[in-house]
Each structure stands twice: as structure tokens, then as C-alpha cells.
């Protein structure tokens, strides 16, 4: 049953969740690339120099583009998960346990993988939870 084709509703939900992830990453990348001064205070709190904003924006842009392309969505989800893990560790390092940025990073990664799981039988087989769609 895990190889069954998802319903149209499931596919729409999947692509909607994917779009949500991509839009968030693109907006965050745009702020990092075009208005890094808005993030200078937050970056200083976590120990990042302000000149890293363009690099972080570029990484988010690459993650968003890879995730948006169906053939590379899985590698995009892996990179999003890695980026989210780095954000979680960064906030953990400064003593923020369960902070909103950490929770948001977890939610973003979960939504990315959920969107793939809903539409791709290979992901469902690899991850498990093989219930009917």
C-alpha cells in the first residue's frame, strides 16, 4: 500500500507545505542578502559576525531552490534539515533551550519532510509510517 499513488488532495497538501517552506526560506534569504542590517543585533547575540549574512542568505537560497525542484527536493530537504540543525545548535550553545528560533527550525524541517512523505512512496518506504494516505 505504501507504493499507492497519493490522492489529489494529498498532493495539493504536499505541494502547499513545500511552497510554505520555500517561501519562508526565500524571504529569510532575501533579508540576509538585501537587508542584513535588520539582522545584525540577532546575529551578534548568537555570536555571528554581520558579514556572514550574505553567506547565510546564499545557503538558504540554495536550499530553497533545490527543495523547489521535484528532482532535487530530497537533497533540498536534507540540506534544510542540516541548516535547521545548525540553527538549533547555535541557540543551544547560548543557553536558549526550547526557544522560538529552535522550535521554528524543527517545525520547518518537519514540514519539509512531511511534504515529501505525502507525495513520494520512496520517502514513505525509507522513513516508515506506511499507513494509507
Q: What is the pTM of this model?
A: 0.86
Q: Which residue bears the cell 511552497? A: 19
Structural domain spans, the chain = 20-125
Secondary structure letter of residue 97 according to DSSP: S
**pLDDT tens sequence for the chain (133 residues):** 446 788 899 999 999 999 999 999 999 999 999 998 888 888 888 888 888 999 999 999 999 999 999 999 999 999 999 999 998 998 888 887 878 888 999 999 999 999 999 998 888 888 776 555 5
State the burial class of residue 21 (Cβ atoms within 10 Å of its Cβ: 0-12, 13-18, 19+): buried
CA distances (Å), origin 34, targets 31, 54, 57, 82, 84: 5, 8, 9, 24, 21
Amino acid at each position: 500500500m505504501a507504493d499507492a499513488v497519493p490522492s489529489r488532495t494529498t498532493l495539493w497538501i504536499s505541494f502547499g507545505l513545500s511552497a510554505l517552506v520555500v517561501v519562508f526560506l526565500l524571504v529569510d534569504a532575501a533579508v540576509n542578502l538585501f537587508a542584513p542590517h535588520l539582522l545584525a543585533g540577532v546575529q551578534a547575540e548568537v555570536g555571528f559576525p554581520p558579514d556572514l549574512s550574505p553567506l547565510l542568505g546564499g545557503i538558504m537560497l540554495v536550499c530553497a531552490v533545490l527543495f523547489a525542484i521535484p528532482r532535487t527536493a530530497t537533497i533540498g530537504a536534507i540540506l534544510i534539515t542540516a541548516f535547521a540543525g545548525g540553527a538549533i545548535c547555535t541557540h543551544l550553545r547560548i543557553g536558549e533551550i526550547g526557544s522560538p528560533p529552535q522550535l521554528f527550525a524543527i517545525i520547518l524541517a518537519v514540514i519539509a519532510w512531511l511534504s515529501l512523505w505525502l507525495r513520494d512512496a520512496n520517502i514513505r518506504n525509507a522513513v516508515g509510517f506506511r499507513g494509507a494516505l
